[in-house]
Chain A
């Protein structure tokens, strides 16, 4: 999975990417090339880097130097194109030589700041030699032209050229002298470029390391701002305390509502989750998918604490209306996604499977049978999965129930605006086969027309009898 695919597939990941404050275009490019890490050690290394950066970002004494570093990062141009021209042993023109000098001076200054801040996880090579080549005046100012100092011949030719108009030379003669100077400049450019060839690799590494620094610092700042935590690499099971979904939390905050974080553990076997409508089952699955994704791209995760088992694939089936756009019915799309999980299991690809209301778009008899069939397969193959359902399922597997409606102690009026303060989103283990029967009650609360509800209640009564 690439960052781009994750933005498309994982709810809330786009929000995470957009709220990263990356300063440079090279940093942005670096972000989009981050790999989806599946090896625990790689993830640990990435998370350790973020942890170091969090420590640096959080230390008040670093504030001034950090803001200087950030302003340097903002001045960074992505010169990878120019470095490529250099690596291919082409001769650089003034603009390209300027870019390299500008970059080398900036990189040296960033290197110094990073050293002072004791940022250990990046290694910017020294570009002092590059600067020496491009700064014969030793002014250390990021300007460039083919300086007189490169060649006494060029210097005297230029001086002569400058006097020529006042000494009555013809335009043709001046043009001739100018061409001669240009030829000399070309030779010098060739020589300078050749001197730069051996440094192409160091330039590219410096650019890459600075871009990486930009991304890691942005991750650290985000961790602080959103209140994220460093997850541990899980061993036997994945678990979260205080798991949340930053984008939805932000939306709720705008409406002056709270997001209730949830604790959940996800063992290496299927878990069925039941709960009333509006009890936050879909948001739970989205939060789990998001945290898993964030960790595997080396981000801190949206929880109070977490231990997460890395997987090779996250298979999600949460209906979002996209399927219809692809010309598939939601049932067909869901069934095809299930095929992926079966294939993965057969090929021993480790996966986390998150399915929201499996087989809900078909008749309850067959729907329930499909859920049982899938669960049977998942139990047999120990597939780490969360499956939410409204069906009463009697299978020998772990079951969680969202607590749902709390007691309305003060007998307040429940409306669509305050309903979420009457729901307890936390989970509890259950062995019950029965599922909550609160659909009609909720429909009533959110203001569905009584004409329908009265009739529904009548049918419900008949059914029970």
Chain B
């Protein structure tokens, strides 16, 4: 399926850069430029990091996105006042973010805006669901992968990854790292009913017993896990970690030799190396995710910020072979 059709096939898509200068903004602007001529209602927003004026990944000022007549966008009051576009306000939220309330507006011309949306996963989810009011077919989320962000792009139905020489100047290495992210994004999903219950959990480490009942293991931090190895399996070997999962946690669970079924809230909580991740799975354990997204395309930027240029054709070919999704060069879309 062509790139743009594939995006419109989903009700929500996030665009996520794996490193700064991997061309996320170019990807977003390319998509919007293509959508301009199509007769579909799309909406745009971004995952905000509360109180930060800069992009959470790049630490550079947030880039402006070019929108066209008819597109709906959601941004904070502060960035709305700085817009360079004629747009009609449709709604003002009562909920406040650090940058003010959220403004939903419809572009009445082409122009530029800075997007800054809800800063938590539930807020993004509500926003996407609410877009049906304005007959929106697809909501595009300018995503971020960040420890600082409370919101995860995994909440969208599909994802586009922007990757490139900025992440690694070695093609096999770059492909391997991107493939690993894909693997995390597409972790098997926790069964729907259980996932609903897990989503209400705010923190901590929980055991899931054979009847899907949840038990708080009352371990305040994963760093204290090894002091409790006796009793963490007292309700069985299904464990839910609501917060971050580290290499240390995976290796601790692995050496227990219990065939652990680990559930995480979403892939952005996995701060693990490929090596430990693979070792964990190979020793008979498994990982499932409450939120599960789907990678629908990868864009590559063969140019690194230091000026190093990868061979675009090889990069696209290798990437496509390993990930089995369409791959596009942002400099040549």
Q: A residues bordering B, Cβ < 8 Å? A: 25, 77, 93-95, 98-99, 102, 143-146, 158, 161-162, 165, 178, 181
Question: Which of A94, A158, A161, A178 has the largest count of B CB atoms less than 10 A from its CB?
Answer: A94
Task: Name A144's contact: one of B69, B86, B89 (CB within 8 Å).
Answer: B89
Task: Name B84's contact: one of A102, A143, A146, A178 (CB within 8 Å).
Answer: A178
Given A93-B81, A158-B109, A162-B109, check contact A99 B88 (CB 8 Å).
no
Report B-chain residues with C-beta under 8 Å of the C-beta of A144.
88-89
* Cβ A162 vs Cβ B110 within 8 A: yes
How distant is the Cα of A77 from the Cα of B94 in the complex, in angstroms? 7
Task: Name A145's contact: one of B69, B77, B84, B108 (CB within 8 Å).
Answer: B108
How many positions in chain B have a CB within 8 Å of any CB in the partner chain? 20
Q: With both chains docked as a complex, state the minimum distance between the C-beta of A284 and any C-beta of chain B, in angstroms.
A: 43
User: B309 at the A/B interface (Cβ < 8 Å)?
Assistant: no
Interface flags for B78-94 (1: CB within 8 Å of A; 0: not) read 00110010111110101
Q: With both chains docked as a complex, state the minimum distance between the C-beta of B181 and any C-beta of chain A, in angstroms.
A: 35
* Cβ A165 vs Cβ B110 within 8 A: yes
Q: With both chains docked as a complex, state the minimum distance between the C-beta of B64 and any C-beta of chain A, in angstroms.
A: 12
Task: Name B92's contact: one of A77, A145, A162, A178 (CB within 8 Å).
Answer: A77
Report B-chain residues with C-beta under 8 Å of the C-beta of A94.
80, 89
Q: With both chains docked as a complex, state the minimum distance between the C-beta of B200 and any C-beta of chain A, in angstroms.
A: 23
Report B-chain residues with C-beta under 8 Å of the C-beta of A99.
92
User: B103 at the A/B interface (Cβ < 8 Å)?
Assistant: yes
* Cβ B109 vs Cβ A161 within 8 A: yes
* Cβ B86 vs Cβ A95 within 8 A: no
Q: Please report whether the interface of chain A is mostly helix, strand, loop or mixed according to DSSP.
A: helix
Q: With both chains docked as a complex, state the minimum distance between the C-beta of B103 and any C-beta of chain A, in angstroms.
A: 6
How distant is the Cα of A238 from the Cα of B85 in the complex, in angstroms? 67
* Cβ B86 vs Cβ A98 within 8 A: no
- CB-CB nearest in chain A for B112: A178
Report A-chain residues with C-beta under 8 Å of the C-beta of B94.
25, 77
Interface flags for B95-112 (1: CB within 8 Å of A; 0: not) read 000000101011011110
Report A-chain residues with C-beta under 8 Å of the C-beta of B80.
94-95
How distant is the Cα of A181 from the Cα of B108 in the complex, in angstroms? 14
* Count: A-B pairs, CB below 8 Å: 41
How distant is the Cα of A437 from the Cα of B89 in the complex, in angstroms? 74
Report A-chain residues with C-beta under 8 Å of the C-beta of B105.
145
- CB-CB nearest in chain A for B81: A93
* Cβ A145 vs Cβ B88 within 8 A: yes
Report B-chain residues with C-beta under 8 Å of the C-beta of A25.
94
- Known A95-B80, A98-B92; 10 more pairs at CB < 8 Å: A95-B81, A95-B92, A95-B103, A143-B88, A143-B90, A146-B86, A158-B108, A161-B109, A162-B110, A181-B86
- CB-CB nearest in chain A for B90: A143
Report A-chain residues with C-beta under 8 Å of the C-beta of B110.
162, 165
Report B-chain residues with C-beta under 8 Å of the C-beta of A146.
86
How distant is the Cα of A77 from the Cα of B89 in the complex, in angstroms? 15
* Cβ A145 vs Cβ B87 within 8 A: yes
By Cβ-Cβ distance, the 4 closest A-B pairs, closest first, are A145-B88, A98-B89, A143-B88, A162-B109
Report A-chain residues with C-beta under 8 Å of the C-beta of B108.
145, 158
* Cβ B89 vs Cβ A95 within 8 A: yes
Report A-chain residues with C-beta under 8 Å of the C-beta of B84.
178
- CB-CB nearest in chain B for A178: B84
How distant is the Cα of A25 from the Cα of B96 in the complex, in angstroms? 14
Report B-chain residues with C-beta under 8 Å of the C-beta of A181.
86
Q: With both chains docked as a complex, state the minimum distance between the C-beta of A160 and any C-beta of chain B, in angstroms.
A: 11
Report B-chain residues with C-beta under 8 Å of the C-beta of A162.
69, 109-110
- CB-CB nearest in chain A for B100: A95
